[in-house]
Structure 1
Amino acid sequence: MTDQRAVVELLDLCRTKGLRVATAESCTGGMVGAWLTEVAGSSDVFDRGFITYSNAAKQDMLGVSQALLVSHGAVSEPVAHQMAKGALAASAAQIAVSITGIAGPGGSEHKPEGRVCFGLATRSGCTTETVEFGAIGRDRVRRAAAAHAVSLLLTAARQADAR
């Protein structure tokens, strides 16, 4: 379950500042977009969401380079960076968040279950980060990642200047 208050606050703040949001989701499969659209009237803030679960979708929809996917893997900050920048470029949004991770079960020695990489793009740049949620189960990793993405969007909206 989402923190509905954070979603409502994000939508209200973006509405006040004239900001639009886009999402690029892999391991969360559109969960952030679903949470945003659970709120009536969200269409004036939520521009679009890209569900790019496969590497081909990341390339086709967001312009993530095949070379980057091969060299770093889909679950990496460089890929999260390109996903967020691609979502921003392919939308009317001023803020875009990306999520790519290993929800589980499984993982590897180098990329464990619960590792999620995030990108946050605005017109002034893009930042990335990795969060280790741990092997808490697929559903809990996905929900924690979606909640973190909402938090990143809210922080960016708070820092953004009104149009």
Structure 2
Amino acid sequence: MDATAENNSQDKRMADIDVVRIMEMIPHRYPILMIERVVDIVLGESAVGVKNVSINEPYFQGHFPSRPVMPGVLIIEAMAQTSAVLVVGTLGKDAEGKLVYFMTVDEARFRRPVTPGDTLHIHVTKQRQRANVWKFKGEAKVNGVLVAEAVYSAMILDEK
């Protein structure tokens, strides 16, 4: 990478975001807030969400009592929330708290169960954006091993 490209990439970097700031940026709350931190943010390009999976998650009471496994749809939701934080960070304060709705989920693959004690690192990369529709590729990893992936699109609405 030449010096100009490296400087442009550094200009787009954003500081890590903690859960308090995430809740200012997106409207999700317990028990559906699926990320606790967003790191490695490059505005308009990519980010990594972090989810510490705890046995105290309400869905483990029924999924499954004898072998707790994080539901795949919630891993996809964690991808979407990480993407929403990236979108809001990219668009700025005016986008905070706006609703973002799934439009499509494609190419979803679940490679291994996610269980209590795992730390999910949710890598999202923008594939394209047209007006208020954004398309992303998401990969969830535990200890660097791919556990789930999907391509999805979402629309950000002006209503709050």
Fold equivalence (TM over 0.5): no
TM-score (norm 2): 0.36
The structure that is strand-richer by fraction is 2
The structure that is helix-richer by fraction is 1
TM-score (norm 1): 0.36
Bigger Rg over Cα:
2
